[in-house]
Amino acid sequence: MIWTLNGLRAAGVTLAVMVGTPALAAECIAPADPGGGWDFTCREVGRLLAEEGLVEGNVQVTNMPGGVGAVAYANVAGKRADDGDVLVATSTVGITQIAQGKYPGGIDQMRWLAMLGADVGVIAVAKDSDMQSLDDLLAKLKEDPTSVVTSGSSGAGGWDHIRLLLLAQAAGVDAIDKIRWVQFDGGSPAVTQMMGGQVGVVSTDLGEIKGFVESGDIRILAVLADEPISAFPDLPTAKSQGYDVTGYNWRGFYTGGKVSDEDYAEWVDKLKTLYDSPEWHEAAKASGLEPVWRGGDEFAAYVAEQEQQMAEISRQIGVIQ
């Protein structure tokens, strides 16, 4: 009897914690399970929005996992397209999915608010690798695209894969669809498999694998950012080595497609205020993000451009027809 009573109680507590307290002004939908990047974006930004007094009360975080964000996308497009209180966390990964037709509808279904920060893509090799620079790697791939096994945390056609291919393209590798790509369940598993000699190169976000950079177990051939990043100023960018490729995995938000211009502008303003606060810069740095701002129309244009770029390269490697 006690067991069952406690059972009920524990289940009740669970629901209370999961659902949060009712009647809140703003809601942030994290289209993933608790613990992931999108969940983190919602919780951190939600916390800071409340702390800075930019929203009334708290920001309720709702987890709506499914279809790498597709379930949340369908939900907002179908049921809450004009709800000006909803933020949905997304990132470059979401745009990749849209570009490959894996969401119900294109980017025009939503209004794109802003990005607040980005994880920076890196190209890494093991410390005992014979490849010393990006040139070494790209020269090898140019000579024989199958000579190096590349890997990362996304599947073929995912963002880790695509940004590596953008580099290869910039270096003039023709048969980019011949390059071998292995998917792992995250950046760290990919790196440890590389340290074990299973794969030659890892392309992924710096944030997750920075521990291996600090310990010297891996060598970063290139950082895919405009400028050297503040946490690791010594790491060379791809640009400084003559390849004009950036590979940000930005974190940002969209809202429903029928949200009014006032509500839209208000959110962009609030997010900009948040972005300018030292608290956000601190929180971003703590989680390995570079603070990067693009908001409002500028962000929408950026999303459109990125979507096109991804659709194009996805066609080239045969992920979409």
State the virtual CA torsion across 39, 49, 283, 232 in degrees, nearest 10. 90
- 133: nearest Cα among 216, 45, 201: 201
* Interstrand relation of 149-152 and 180-183 (parallel, antiparallel or unpaired): parallel
Is residue 319 involved in binding other proteins (CB under 8 A)? Answer: yes
Here the tokens at position 131 are 């490849």
Within its chain, how far is the Cα of 151 from the centroid? 17
| CA separation for the pair 181, 253 (Å, rounded) | 30
In the chain, where does DSSP find H-type helix?
Answer: 2-19, 37-51, 70-79, 92-99, 134-143, 159-170, 187-195, 206-215, 261-276, 278-286, 296-316
* 67 belongs to the binding site for other proteins (CB under 8 A): yes
Question: Does 250 sit near other proteins (CB under 8 A)?
Answer: no
Report DSSP state, residue 243. Answer: -
Stretch that binds other proteins, among 52-60, 219-227, 250-258, 282-290 (CB under 8 A): 282-290
Cα–Cα dist 316/95, whole Å: 17
Q: Using CB under 8 A as the criterion, what x/- string covers residues 4-43 for binding other proteins?
A: x-xxx-xx-xxx-xx--------------xxxx---x---
If one asks whether residue 182 binds other proteins (CB under 8 A), the answer comes out as yes
Number of residues that bind other proteins (CB under 8 A): 67
Among 28, 42, 45, 68, binds other proteins (CB under 8 A): 68
CB of 321 to other proteins, least distance (A): 12
Residue 274 half-sphere exposure toward CB, CA atoms < 13 A:
29
Least distance from other proteins to the Cβ atom of residue 136, Å: 20
Nearer to other proteins, 158 or 295 (CB): 158
| Residue 265 within binding range of other proteins, rule CB under 8 A | no
CB of 89 to other proteins, least distance (A): 15
CB nearer other proteins, residue 199 or residue 300: 199
Nearer to other proteins, 44 or 267 (CB): 44
Pick the closer one to other proteins by CB: 44 or 290.
44
58 sits near other proteins (criterion: CB under 8 A)? no
| Residue of 41, 63, 204, 255 interacting with other proteins (CB under 8 A) | 63
Where is 249: in which H helix or E strand? Answer: strand 248-256
Report d(CA 97, CA 159) in Å as an integer.
9
Q: Which amino acid is at 238?
A: A
Q: List b or e across 97-127, with b for residues whose CB sees 16 or more CB atoms inside 10 angstroms.
A: bbbbebbeeebebbbbbbbbbbbbbbbbbbe
Instruction: Work out whether strand 218-223 and strand 59-63 pair parallel, antiparallel, or are unpaired.
Output: unpaired
Should residue 158 be labelled a site residue for other proteins when binding is judged by CB under 8 A? Answer: yes
Minimum distance of other proteins from residue 53's CB (angstroms): 20
Q: Which of residues 90-149 bind other proteins (CB under 8 A)?
A: 100, 102, 104, 146, 149
How would you class 86 by CB atoms within 10 Å of its CB: exposed for 0-12, middle for 13-18, buried for 19 or more? Answer: buried
Query: What x/- string results for residues 214 through 233 when contact with other proteins is judged by CB under 8 A?
Result: xx-x----------------
* Both structure tokens of 303: 């999303």
**Candidates 66-74, 76-84, 256-264, 298-306; binding stretch for other proteins (CB under 8 A):** 66-74
Q: Please give the single-letter amino acid code of residue 143.
A: E
Binding site for other proteins (CB under 8 A): 1-4, 6-8, 10-11, 13-15, 17-18, 33-36, 40, 44, 62-68, 70-71, 74, 100, 102, 104, 146, 149, 155-158, 180-186, 188-189, 192-193, 195-199, 208-212, 214-215, 217, 286-288, 319
